[in-house]
Amino acid sequence: MFPFFDPTMIFVLPALIFAFYAQYKVKSTYDKYANVNSRKGFSGAEVAAQILARNNLHVKVEEQSGFLTDHYDPKNKVLRLSSGVFHGRSISALGVAAHEAGHALQDQNKYVMMNIRSSIVPAANIGSTMAFPLFFMGFFFKYGIFMDIGIILFSLAVLFHLVTLPVEFNASKRAMVTLEDNGFLEKQEIESGRKVLNAAALTYVAATAVAAMHLIRLLILRNNRRD
């Protein structure tokens, strides 16, 4: 049977369903609290800039287009916020901005897991791009070595997802502490901010689950097609 639709897909389907749910959850939660302005009236850009300044970080805060395209660039020391977060004064905007600032703090503190993730990015990119073409080329033409190389490469992509989890959870933890301790959110708003970040974390968990199930699927297919 064609490998993309063989019975081993049963391992991947639950993870894919979870991934769709995670995407729905993060968007619905973000949208909900994007309509709730914080009582202190800070914008996402202001929160990010103040967190960076209070920690003596020389990181530039920039606006960029897109929806939830927010990220911290450790190489260029730039924190990029989507327009909605940059200008937004909602609980969602502040939560996302503080989360990205949390990554800058990780960089400053040389957070081990962040350094590990950065070091495996090139290998993970190669793995996610080349693994499936090599594996299924080997599967169709019965070249076991191609399947093995594909599995090794995809394992690097899975490792990247696994390492990403503690990096993202730690950034969210730093964000919540910062938002509360520095008075960006009032106590009554903290739980709402936590819901935004917890929903976002689901997407990373789901991505890891999908990658792990794909790896299990490749291992089963390899076992079923020995040289």
Out of 46, 62, 63, 100, the active site residue is: 100
* CA-closest candidate to residue 105, choices 80, 63, 74: 74
DSSP H/E element including 62: strand 60-64
Distances (CA, A) of 199 to 132, 172, 187, 202, 211: 30, 11, 20, 5, 19
* CA-closest candidate to residue 137, choices 128, 147, 125, 127: 147
6-44 burial: b if 16+ Cβ within 10 Å, else e: eebeebbeebeebbeebeebbeebbebbbeebbeeebbb
Cα 167 to Cα 184: distance, rounded to the nearest angstrom: 23
Q: CB of 67 within 8 A of CB of 165?
A: no
* Residues recorded for the chain: 227
Q: Does 62 participate in catalysis according to the annotation?
A: no
Question: Looking at this protein, which amino acid is placed at residue 225?
Answer: R
Q: CB of 80 within 8 A of CB of 44?
A: no
Catalogue the long-range contacts made by 59-66 (C-beta closer than 8 Å, 24 or more residues apart): 59/104, 61/86, 63/87
**Catalytic positions:** 100
